Amino acid sequence: MATAESASAIQRNQVDLLDFIDWSGVECLNQSSGHLLANALKQGYREDEGLNLESDADEQLLIYIPFTQVVKLHSIVVKGSEEEGPKTVKLFTNRQHMGFSNVNDFPPSDTVVLSPDNLKGKPVVVKYVKFQNVRSLTIFIEDNQSGSEITKVQKIALYGSTVETTDMKGLKKIEEH
């Protein structure tokens, strides 16, 4: 029952937050140099199954995504392979410059354990009440499905809505009148 509702909710008033990502501030720790975060996050790249975000020194990844405005996060999609795709994903809101050493010092806003269905593209609905006022999102991928040395993420998509309904571009047009 919940899944059917959430699926339609995504179509109803949740948008892909890709447009609101502040790319200048996006950071990813422990990514392998040939397989960067852009492969999983950016339009086009994320649809390509051959382009993945891969971890480097070990299986963990720490991704920091700031937004250009305050957003509400409703759900996320994390796609990956059955073995090397992520398993435990912790989400933190509005914390800057987290590192692997202090990631366990704060309670996450939500913890998600991805099932094989999720890895094929089924969205995971997050605890909406905790994500009402999101300026930045930190995604900590703690481990992967099979416990292998490298975690591979094919796609990360964020769905939600904006808090302010004012569209800045729209505002400019009004001024021109």
Q: Which residues bind other proteins (CB under 8 A)?
A: 29-30, 33, 56-58, 60, 96-97, 99-101
Yes or no: say if 67 and 22 are a contact pair by the CB < 8 Å rule: yes
Query: Which of 117, 137, 138, 151 shows the shortest CA–CA distance to 71?
Result: 137
For residue 160, the minimal CB distance to other proteins (Å) is 26
Q: Which is nearer to other proteins, 75 or 151 (CB)?
A: 151
82 three-state secondary structure: coil
Q: Which is nearer to other proteins, 96 or 115 (CB)?
A: 96
For residue 96, the minimal CB distance to other proteins (Å) is 7
Residue 161, C-beta contacts closer than 8 angstroms, at least 6 positions apart: 13, 14, 15, 71, 72, 74
For residue 62, the minimal CB distance to other proteins (Å) is 9
Q: Which is nearer to other proteins, 11 or 33 (CB)?
A: 33
Please name every residue paired with 4 in a beta bridge, in sequence order, or none if there are none: none
For residue 169, the minimal CB distance to other proteins (Å) is 29
